[in-house]
Structure 1
Amino acid sequence: MDQEKNNKVPYNEDNYTHNIRKNNERTLDRRGFMKTMVGAAGVFAISTLPWGGLAAKELAGLGQKSHPKMKIADVQALKVGEAVEFAYPGENDSALLIRLGENEYKAYQNACTHLKCPVFWNGEEKKMVCPCHHGFFDPKSGAPTGGPPRRPLPEIIVAVEGPTIYATGVKRYEA
């Protein structure tokens, strides 16, 4: 009796592909699925073109940004060998101004170029230190002198006008 059930075709039709021909049984076959996927990929590729154009413009240096002039500190408030933190160009962009000599000031964005950890001024050793991975930067150039960072810190352009130190812009990174 079990053998009779196993040898019978479960449907009245004589083949197992009977459901392919039924209406609305297969509205999306392999070919239709592939056409949909290629179309979706094309739409996605075309939608990214404007962003690629903006990135190319920025990398080519055609999109020069202007930054506002902002007061950092008074000259008398900052002694030689000291540093002060400030926010520039935006209120969430941390930066560091160092007075290296009587008339020598350097300012850098103080996010390490390795993994964006904060960079601190060590006045005793006269170097900028990233404590996260023991990275060191030269205060005169912003170039890395030790540790994992390979790119210099972005420099902020500084101007001294009378008794006040101002930030006036950010230098572009050049490879």
Structure 2
Amino acid sequence: MMNGDQTRGNGAVPPHEDNYTHNIRKDNERRLDRRSFMKTMVGAAGVFAVSTLPWGAIAAKELSSPAKKAFPKTRITALSDLKVGEAVEFAYPGEHDSALLVRLGEGEFKAYQNACTHLKCPVFWSGEKGELVCPCHHGLFDVRTGAPVAGPPKRPLPEIELKLEQGTVYAVGVKRYET
């Protein structure tokens, strides 16, 4: 026989249940059902999509504008400090952007951002082989064009525009990547 405390209607433990879930309140367990969860997820996705619109507009403007971007003129090295066949690292266009200048001939220089276009590993100059090497996945780049010649990279290295003034090499810009 049951007393008044153990009836099902008042939330007391029924005598025939011996599991440990009798202390869980079940009155709000369906507050977030599947339909409510999906509404919340769709709403969150909508907020995320709307919040990315300004960045997409900025990227579209940057990619579609033919206007040339202004870069700082940065001193790299003096001609007397770099022999033919040697290379020097420098930072361009920002202080954390690594680049590589190679002296190919008496008045011939090439400079590239030295982050591999495959996975951004550093690119090194191999003077004895005359090529730019990415050691991460054995990528090779042509030093005269920056185009990949071996390995997984598919895009050329971004080329840095140079200017020679009074025996000094300066970086003056970065060429846009053309597809």
Global fold match (TM > 0.5): yes
Q: Distance in 2 between matches of 1:105 and 1:91?
A: 21
Partner of 2:40: 36
Distance verdict in 2 for CA 1:134–1:24, change over 3 Å: closer
RMSD of aligned Cα (Å): 2.7
| TM-score (norm: length of structure 2) | 0.78
Distance, in Å, in 2 between the alignment partners of 1:103 and 1:147 is 30
Q: 2 CA distance for matches of 1:25 and 1:120?
A: 61
AA in 2 matched with 1:79: K
* Partner residue, 2:100: 96
What SS does the corresponding residue of 2:54 show, helix, strand or coil? helix
Would you say 1:173 and 2:177 are equivalent positions? yes
The 8 Å contact of residues 57 and 63 in structure 1, kept in 2 or not, is answered as no
Letter matched to residue 93 of structure 1: D
Q: Counterparts of 2:28 and 2:152 in 1: how far apart (Å)?
A: 61
Of 53, 75, 82, the residue aligned with 1:78 is: 82
Q: 2:50 matched to 1:46?
A: yes
Structure 1: segments with no counterpart, 5+ residues: 13-22
Show structure 2 runs of 5+ residues with no match: 10-26
C-alpha spacing 1:54/1:64, structure 2 compared with 1 (3 Å): farther
Q: SS state of the match for residue 178, structure 2?
A: coil
Deviation, structure 1 residue 39: 2.7
TM-score between the two structures when normalised by the length of structure 1: 0.80
Offset of 1:58 from its aligned partner? 2.0
**1:152 and 2:156 aligned:** yes
- 1:67 deviation in Å? 1.1
The number of residue pairs the alignment matches comes to 160
Measured in 1, the distance between the counterparts of 2:34 and 2:123 equals 56
Q: Quote how far apart the aligned CAs of 1:32 are.
A: 4.3
Q: Percent identity?
A: 68
Contact persistence 1:70–1:168 (CA under 8 A): yes
Q: 1:128 aligns with which of 126, 132, 139?
A: 132
Structure 1 position 11, deviation (Å): 3.9
Tell me, in whole angstroms, the C-alpha distance in 1 between the residues paired with 2:115 and 2:69: 20
Q: Could you tell me how far 1:35 is from its partner in structure 2?
A: 3.6
CA distance in 1, matches of 2:87, 2:163: 16
**Pair 1:111-2:115 in alignment:** yes
